Amino acid sequence: MQINLSNLGKRYNYEWIFRNLTYTLESGTSYAILGHNGSGKSTLLTVIAGHNLHSEGEITYLIDGKAVAPDAAYRQLSLTAPYLELVEEFTLSEMIAFHTRFKQLRGNLSHDALIERMGLQKSRNKYVKDFSSGMKQRLKLGLAIYSDTKLLVLDEPTTNLDQEGVSWYQEHVAANKEGRLIIVGSNIVHEYSFCDQHLYITDYHAQAKQPKSAKS
């Protein structure tokens, strides 16, 4: 898979979050989108993932060297982010069954095997609403990492994880990165230490455009 960003820009009202961003992202490479809090990392990720419209420029998606419509590209997307919610009325087993109606698991992994890899064996019949914040984050990551998709987007992936959870994340993302296009939005080194290339969103900041004075 390949994603081409050409003179991409996003603004809210008169404020440009980023502008003139031209970059190519390819399968087999992991990319870190870096910048301080509020710099626009998450905004760029939502634009790439199709959750947010860009204001100028162009995004093209290619699969096996052929341009595809955005909807076809999004079917190859797994995403985890702080703003994405789980269905808390489901049990863990029900949540996985629901998820796999839309995204199959890598390598024909069984539901039980996924639960084991997430370390949640004792919680298979527990309601998601009763999970701790760390368990919910591990579930989000497990569903994203182990979905059979070409594109994996991880926004602040270790939010709410303790050190054991961070180590779990590092192990499992490393074991499932081969041949995939992975994009991580972060400003914490342990979240993106495996990434091959770094894109600094602040390199694409622009001055706000001032509104024109009203004529009398």
- Summarised one tens digit per residue, pLDDT across range 124-153 is 999 999 999 999 999 999 999 999 999 999
As a whole number of angstroms, the distance between CA 64 and CA 84 comes to: 29
- CA dihedral (149, 181, 62, 54) in degrees, to 10, reads 100
pTM score: 0.93
Q: At what angle do helices 92-99 and 133-145 cross, to 10 degrees?
A: 30
Per-residue confidence (pLDDT) for residue 213, from 0 to 100: 43
Alpha-carbon span 176 to 182, nearest angstrom: 10
Residue with tokens 């959750």: 51
Per-residue confidence (pLDDT) for residue 207, from 0 to 100: 58
Looking at residue 206, what is its pLDDT? 76
| CB 190, CB 40: distance < 8 Å | no
Question: What parts of the chain have a pLDDT lower than 50?
Answer: 208-216
Domain ranges of the chain: 2-204
Residues 118, 145 contacting (CB under 8 angstroms): no
| Cβ(96)–Cβ(118) below 8 Å | no
Q: Is 176 exposed, middle or buried (0-12, 13-18, 19+ CB in 10 A)?
A: middle
Query: How do residues 168-191 score in pLDDT, each as one tens digit?
Result: 999 999 999 999 999 999 999 999
CB 47 within 8 A of CB 213: no
Given this model, what pLDDT does residue 147 score?
98
The CATH number for 2-204, chosen from 3.40.30.10, 3.40.50.300, 3.40.50.11740, 3.40.50.970, is: 3.40.50.300
One-letter-per-residue 3-state SS of 158-197: CCCCCHHHHHHHHHHHHHCCCCCEEEEEECCHHHHCCCCE
